[in-house]
Amino acid sequence: MAQEEQLVFGPTIEGLFVRGLKDKLPPALVNQLKDLGLDLTKPILPAYPRTVVNAAVLLTAKTLYPNDSLSDAFYKVGQHVSIGAFSTVLGSATLRLVKLVGPKRALQRIARTFRTTNNYMTVALRELAPTDWELELFPSNDQPSYMQAVIEDVMKIAGAKELKVETVNHDKALGRCTYRVRWS
Give 147: exposed, middle or buried? Use CB within 10 Å, 0-12, 13-18, 19+: buried
117 DSSP 8-state letter = S
Question: pTM above 0.85?
Answer: yes
Mean pLDDT along residues 153-182: 95
The answer to whether residue 84 scores a pLDDT higher than 70 is yes
67 and 121 share one domain: no
181 DSSP 8-state letter = E
80 and 136 share one domain: no
For 135, the enclosing helix (H) or strand (E) is strand 132-138
pLDDT at residue number 163:
98
The answer to whether residue 178 scores a pLDDT higher than 80 is yes
Selection from 89, 24, 91, 29 nearest residue 59 by Cα: 29
* Structural domains of the chain, count: 2
Q: Assign 35 to helix, strand or coil.
A: helix
In this prediction, residue 112 has a pLDDT band, given cuts at 50, 70 and 90, of confident
Q: What percent of the chain has pLDDT over 90?
A: 77
- The one-letter code for the residue type at 15 is G
CATH number of the domain to which 170 belongs: 3.90.1520.10
Residue 18 lies in a domain: yes
User: Using an 8 Å Cβ cutoff, are 182 and 132 in contact?
Assistant: yes
pLDDT at residue number 113:
82
